[in-house]
Amino acid sequence: MKLIIKLILFISIFYLSKVQAEDVFTSSVSPDISADKIAVLRAATDYIESQHKRSGQMMQRGLHQKLVKRTYWQAKAGSEFIMETDFNTMVSVAENYNKSGDKFSSPPKIDIKILDIEQRIASVKLIADDWVDYMHLIKNTQGQWKIINVLWQYHDITKHTSKR
């Protein structure tokens, strides 16, 4: 009889713990595809795919007019500085960088991770063929998510040097 009671108690505890674990597991990994997540993902996707497809319009759609993109760079003489790129330059990059069609692998590597969304700000990590970008986005008053800051580097950091 004691054995049966212990067995019932064990099964009850096991079942309750399993249900609670499943509830926690399900709620923590179930996809929460909110409109904001979709819009943040779209802005980051526009940013990288505009370079693949040579589309300035697509780049413009994902960027804030006040965008600043930064990386460290080493001058040929050896001094290091912070190189900045703005909205207009990035639109030009989208239109011209991949003119020959050989700047990206086929298919190109695109790994976008939304690190955080908090009301009207978001943080994203993009891993592409040759580089990694950390992006900050803002949601404007029209409800559009736009990239306002990018910090990036090549996977091969020896590329961060001027050739001239």
pLDDT tens-digit map of 16-28 = 333 333 333 333 3
pTM of the model: 0.77
* Contacts for 56 with CB less than 8 Å, ≥ 6 apart: 50, 91, 92, 94, 95
How many whole angstroms separate alpha carbon 54 and alpha carbon 98? Answer: 7
Rounded to 5°, the CA angle 28-133-160 comes to 150
Name the percent of the chain lying above pLDDT 90. Answer: 63
Using CA of residue 103, residue 161, residue 112, residue 47, what is the dihedral sign? negative
- Helices within 30-137 (DSSP H only): 35-53, 56-62, 87-96
Phi, psi of 123 (to 5 degrees): -130, 135
pLDDT tens-digit map of 61-87 = 999 999 999 999 999 888 999 999 999
pLDDT tens-digit map of 137-156 = 999 999 999 999 999 999 99
Q: Which residue has the tokens 């697509």?
A: 58
Collapsing DSSP states into helix, strand and coil, what is residue 119? coil
